[in-house]
Structure 1
Amino acid sequence: MSVIVVGGGLAGLSAAHTLLERGANVLLLDKQGFMGGNSTKATSGINGAGTQTQQEAGIPDNAKTFFDDTKKSARDLARDDLIRVLTGRSGDAVNWLQDKFGLDLSKVARLGGHSQPRTHRGDAQFPGMVITYAQMERLEDLAVSNPDRVRIIKKARVTKLVKDDSGAVTGVEYLHNGKTVTEHGPVILATGGYAADFTEDSLLKKYRPELWDLPTTNGDHCTGDGQKLAMAIGGHGIDLEKVQVHPTGLVDPNEPEAKVKFLAAEALRGVGGLLLDNTGARFVDELQHRDYVTGKIWENKKYPIRLVLNGSASKEIEWHCKHYCGRGLMKRFESGDALAKEMGLQPSVLKKTFEDYNAVVRSKKDPFGKKFFSGEWKYDDVFNVAVMTPVLHYTMGGLEVDPESRVIDTKGKPISGLFAAGEVAGGVHGANRLGGSSLLGCVVFGRVSGDSAAAYLLQQSSAAIAKAGGRLGAISSQLGTPSAGKKEEAKPAAGGSSSSGKKEYTLADVGQHKKKDDVWVVVNGEVLDVTNFLPDHPGGEKAIMLYAGRDATEEFNMLHDPKVIQRYAADSVIGTLKK
């Protein structure tokens, strides 16, 4: 019997790897054609207190300080026992990612609401994508090399939780290839939130109808599936009205009304970016909590709101700026005069804004309450600038869980055999989540749920063995814990270059295929027909359509390891680019 993990984002993947470490077998079900979920979009990093990276940098952080920051951000509406798990296991979670998966998390930033720099990322790609892909590739390799331990089924939509006469969850029913399939085993729900729940039974519309018309950063898979499945069998939903609106969604000048928007990483403000209204003035502490900044944007009402990075801030987070500029979501200006012209302001107005801010930096007395600064600004500088809008981003509400990630029913009792991790679980972040704690919640509670489900499976197996009176040796060996420090053996996925013997195409040929029902792109000299891959792309269709009929090599290499084409989209390679 396997533990069934529902959801292939970071929470589900962390649960799966922990289950394997504990000797349990795993069946992972994901309703998308490509795993990763919203975790791949996380751009700022993962929080951790007392990590190896912080110690090496001399940052005096600890779990108690992180607990206090989280509790304050939550407006005292989160549960202390869950905050203690989140913050107390945060350092170990970051170290686990570095040690087990060899990840670079050597840079630490201070985001809004944090009293210490504790949001970890590496030098290059979006940290959410790097962390999630590392776990995803390891698990997929294990599914090839050790299929008795790991099974992964994609495009499998779970429709029902199966219970026995005692009320314990004993499996799931799911739809796959038009058929209903039943699998048995304890269940970990890791299906994410409901910040894109525009379905007929929408949790978003039921609990926060006034936010219904806002754009969202979430993929269309975030429809509250896990919450609805568990509540249908008596699971208790809590804090479902607590929906986080992020202040900085990027407005695409070509599609300003688009429902789904890319998120401007909070790290852009963490490195010193300023928010300016249409008069060129600041109106808020840029490092305040997300809900506070959003409220000030709505209160100020002087649109458009621009996020402005000076030269030093742009250099600090150069990769993000290059990425956003490449997508047409951010513009680079070579001087203050050019920026003032773009904003429709006299140069003297923008100069005064910078001069006033420099006086604040020197005095440390900001009329908006800012406490942490990244140096003074020059008018004669380069600037990276984007238009911002508040966007639906994260749902703090979800299923009630205990510190062991067990789902609690409406009578306050754990539902046997049912666990939850990640955004599907409520009560962790209260009224407002701190930046960098989304990935952290996935890893921490993914690992907690994996531990708990593995222990539960062992208990159930032991009880069955005692009742049957035999087979102890065979089953216990199957469930035996690997020796300390030993990692699973992983073999590379099979397959070589799929472009051998393919036709050659010119860039002009590729340019003829740029509609949604006929999309070609060029990546590293290979021509790809990605029409059928559009709905499976974890970054959404728009991320591909921006490069339809074009050479997407530079953008692709910024975000991906080149081997992901062979691994996930080998069938899309139809030829090579003619030189």
Structure 2
Amino acid sequence: MTDTSSDSRPAEAGAAVFTADVVVVGMGIAGVCAAIEAAEAGASVLALEGASGPGGSSAQSGGEVYLGGGTGTQQALGIEDTVEDMRAFLTAALGPNADEAKLADYCAGAVEHHDWLVAHGAVFHVKLWDTPTWMPGDDSGLMWMGERAEPYASLARPAARGHRPPEPNFAGGHLMAALQATADATGVETHCDVRARELVVENGRVVGVRATEFGAEREYRATRGVVLATGGFVDNDRMLEQWAPHQLGKEKISDGRDDGSGIEMGMAAGAAVRRMHQTETAMLVIPRLVVGGMLVDGDAQRFINEEVYPGLYCHAAVHHRPGPVWVIVDEKGIEEVPEGELWGMQPMHAAESIEELAADCGLPADALADTLRRYNAGAGSGNDAHGKSATWLRPLEPPFGAYPTGAGGPETFNGLPLNAQGFTLGGLHTDVDSRVLDRSGEPIPGLWAAGRCTHGLHGEGYISGTSLGDGSFFGRRAGRGAAGA
């Protein structure tokens, strides 16, 4: 890597200079775990956060951490699991083009990582949420992430692996508060409202970060290493236009600060990026409704087993199927959904015949009638064309209802916008030790990264819990690496 005059220039005139062994940029889950590990390795740690408090997008998430292989929480619930089954499921669900080397290390270390999280403040109650959902509405500590659904159930023995903090729905704040408290107790010094601007590079090594605090210049020097943990780039339309234009115009799942700054700082220092086109997409759907009915595209065709993790059928619907995509259910299917999971939503359209419903939805009537006929025939014989299990498979009977999704069709439903939502999965190219690699594949001295500013485990697929899992696991490696440099 070649220095430039701007890289190696001295600190800005009048800039306040702070020095520590390790400087961590960003205090979401990757950053806080990096900071804890570095501090526990004996390093002094300065953590920079652009917001007025730590947590980042991790604090606004569902809080799931995808872990398996026989964790203490799984064992307490009598759930048998192996590293091999966890790896087989994730390889299929996160692919194609998932990072096999990182997956292998992540799965092999999942039990230890579970125990580390618990030892550092995470709580996972011995309670299982047993039905499809985005996020449990109670304090369950474990949930299914589509492991029981075909084709995955034939590739790996199913086991529930979604570990969750004891809080309903959006539980990420609970997890992040616990980890931040541990970081504070280990002596990590967190500076908030600090906007990192560029890396300081001297003699080919990253030695610090230039930043501003309310417009005032700051320089943070790292005697051992810098860790970037700044999040993705979904909030940066310029970067989306360049790297992931299919995400433009969609709602953003973030804390509003996933601006790609860490990725561009790394690139300016010579870092390579990887899989920048990859995104995760979600829609306004009720998984408990979807699994009891049919998900059909604009040609009135089913295209996936409705029992898989919701993120997988959302991504397929938005990016790979003609719109509009509808959830087709019957009266019994709606009645079977617990009131707390139905969110008060009634069908947008209802009809006594499937042909009438098709007309209301703008779908081809003959095609939808044929899809219903084939679905009911499979339900009657117990042999669904997409592998839906007997737990959720039964013939649909009139009257029928239709719920819209975020893949084409109406713009709003029950007063809520139906635009699909998402975030980015690509980023800086890192190795299994979280070292940032340059364009020739060589580590950049003094620089580590983890979390959504990197390309982590993921290929074209996504399972909730793998972002927090990936970020925390490889964040720990980044912290240890930087502290030992």
Q: Shared fold by TM > 0.5?
A: yes
Match status 1:224 vs 2:260: yes
Does the CA-based 8 Å contact 1:5-1:190 persist in structure 2?
Answer: yes
Letter in 2 for 1:295: A
The match for 1:368 among 386, 401, 406 is 386
1:189-338 pair list within 5 angstroms: 189-198=228-237, 202-241=238-277, 243-246=278-281, 248-250=282-284, 275=295, 284-288=304-308, 290=311, 293-296=314-317, 301-303=322-324, 305-306=326-327, 310=334, 313-314=337-338, 318=340, 321=341, 325=343, 331-333=344-346
Does the CA-based 8 Å contact 2:143-2:162 persist in structure 1?
Answer: yes
**Structure 1 counterpart SS, 2:265:** helix
Deviates more, 1:403-412 or 1:30-39: 30-39
Q: Percent identity?
A: 26
Return the alpha-carbon distance in structure 2 between the equivalents of residues 36 and 384 of structure 1. 38
The match for 1:101 among 111, 121, 126 is 121
- Consecutive unaligned residues of structure 2, counting only runs of 5 or more, are 1-19, 126-140, 358-368, 408-418
- The CA deviation string for residues 411-436 of structure 1, in whole angstroms up to 9 with x for no partner, is 22111211111111115212323332
Return the alpha-carbon distance in structure 1 between the equivalents of residues 49 and 272 of structure 2. 23
Does the CA-based 8 Å contact 2:235-2:258 persist in structure 1?
Answer: yes
- Alpha-carbon offset, residue 375 of structure 1: 6.7
1:421-570 pair list within 5 angstroms: 421-456=450-485
Letter in 1 for 2:275: D
Q: Which residue of 2 aligns with 1:461?
A: none
Match status 1:155 vs 2:173: no
Return the alpha-carbon distance in structure 1 between the equivalents of residues 321 and 402 of structure 2. 23
Return the alpha-carbon distance in structure 2 between the equivalents of residues 30 and 392 of structure 1. 25
Does the CA-based 8 Å contact 1:285-1:293 persist in structure 2?
Answer: no
Q: 1:234 to 1:71 in 2, by over 3 A?
A: same
**Structure 1 counterpart SS, 2:351:** coil
- Alpha-carbon offset, residue 101 of structure 1: 1.0
- The CA deviation string for residues 312-357 of structure 1, in whole angstroms up to 9 with x for no partner, is 5537xx4xx38xx4xxxxx345xxxxx4xx414237788x999986
Match status 1:15 vs 2:34: yes
Does the CA-based 8 Å contact 1:40-1:128 persist in structure 2?
Answer: yes
- Alpha-carbon offset, residue 118 of structure 1: 1.3
Q: Which residue of 2 aligns with 1:110?
A: 145
Return the alpha-carbon distance in structure 1 between the equivalents of residues 118 and 377 of structure 2. 41
Deviates more, 1:167-176 or 1:51-60: 51-60
Does the CA-based 8 Å contact 1:109-1:271 persist in structure 2?
Answer: no
Does the CA-based 8 Å contact 1:245-1:391 persist in structure 2?
Answer: no
- Consecutive unaligned residues of structure 1, counting only runs of 5 or more, are 251-263, 326-330, 334-338, 457-579
Return the alpha-carbon distance in structure 2 between the equivalents of residues 11 and 206 of structure 1. 25
Return the alpha-carbon distance in structure 2 between the equivalents of residues 274 and 46 of structure 1. 29
- Alpha-carbon offset, residue 180 of structure 1: 1.1
Q: 1:68 to 1:283 in 2, by over 3 A?
A: closer
Q: Which residue of 2 aligns with 1:576?
A: none
Does the CA-based 8 Å contact 2:379-2:393 persist in structure 1?
Answer: yes
- The CA deviation string for residues 236-291 of structure 1, in whole angstroms up to 9 with x for no partner, is 111122x2241x333xxxxxxxxxxxxx68x7589868646799986532244745
- The CA deviation string for residues 16-46 of structure 1, in whole angstroms up to 9 with x for no partner, is 2222322222211111123222212322722
**Structure 1 counterpart SS, 2:24:** strand
- Alpha-carbon offset, residue 12 of structure 1: 0.9
- Alpha-carbon offset, residue 150 of structure 1: 2.3
Does the CA-based 8 Å contact 2:232-2:260 persist in structure 1?
Answer: yes
Does the CA-based 8 Å contact 2:27-2:229 persist in structure 1?
Answer: yes
Return the alpha-carbon distance in structure 2 between the equivalents of residues 355 and 204 of structure 1. 42
Q: 1:123 to 1:60 in 2, by over 3 A?
A: same
Return the alpha-carbon distance in structure 2 between the equivalents of residues 344 and 302 of structure 1. 19
Q: 1:281 to 1:429 in 2, by over 3 A?
A: closer
- Alpha-carbon offset, residue 447 of structure 1: 1.4
- The CA deviation string for residues 136-173 of structure 1, in whole angstroms up to 9 with x for no partner, is 34445x3xxx7xx32111121111111221x1111111
Letter in 2 for 1:294: H
Return the alpha-carbon distance in structure 1 between the equivalents of residues 308 and 350 of structure 2. 28
What is the TM-score with the length of structure 1 in the denominator? 0.62
Does the CA-based 8 Å contact 1:19-1:451 persist in structure 2?
Answer: yes
Return the alpha-carbon distance in structure 1 between the equivalents of residues 115 and 377 of structure 2. 40
The match for 2:172 among 128, 132, 135 is 128
| Residues matched between the structures, number | 412
Deviates more, 1:428-437 or 1:6-15: 428-437
Return the alpha-carbon distance in structure 2 between the equivalents of residues 440 and 193 of structure 1. 15
Q: Which residue of 1 aligns with 2:365?
A: none
- Alpha-carbon offset, residue 444 of structure 1: 0.7
Return the alpha-carbon distance in structure 2 between the equivalents of residues 15 and 131 of structure 1. 15
Does the CA-based 8 Å contact 1:40-1:129 persist in structure 2?
Answer: yes
**Structure 2 counterpart SS, 1:452:** helix
Return the alpha-carbon distance in structure 2 between the equivalents of residues 431 and 450 of structure 1. 28
Return the alpha-carbon distance in structure 1 between the equivalents of residues 354 and 41 of structure 2. 64
Q: 1:402 to 1:297 in 2, by over 3 A?
A: closer
**Structure 1 counterpart SS, 2:120:** helix
Letter in 2 for 1:411: S
**Structure 2 counterpart SS, 1:43:** coil
What is the TM-score with the length of structure 2 in the denominator? 0.73
**Structure 2 counterpart SS, 1:101:** coil
Return the alpha-carbon distance in structure 1 between the equivalents of residues 53 and 404 of structure 2. 30
Does the CA-based 8 Å contact 1:400-1:425 persist in structure 2?
Answer: yes
- Alpha-carbon offset, residue 377 of structure 1: 8.7
Return the alpha-carbon distance in structure 1 between the equivalents of residues 120 and 390 of structure 2. 34
- Alpha-carbon offset, residue 441 of structure 1: 0.7
**Structure 1 counterpart SS, 2:269:** coil
Return the alpha-carbon distance in structure 1 between the equivalents of residues 216 and 191 of structure 2. 13
Letter in 1 for 2:351: L
- Alpha-carbon offset, residue 176 of structure 1: 0.5
Q: 1:52 to 1:423 in 2, by over 3 A?
A: same
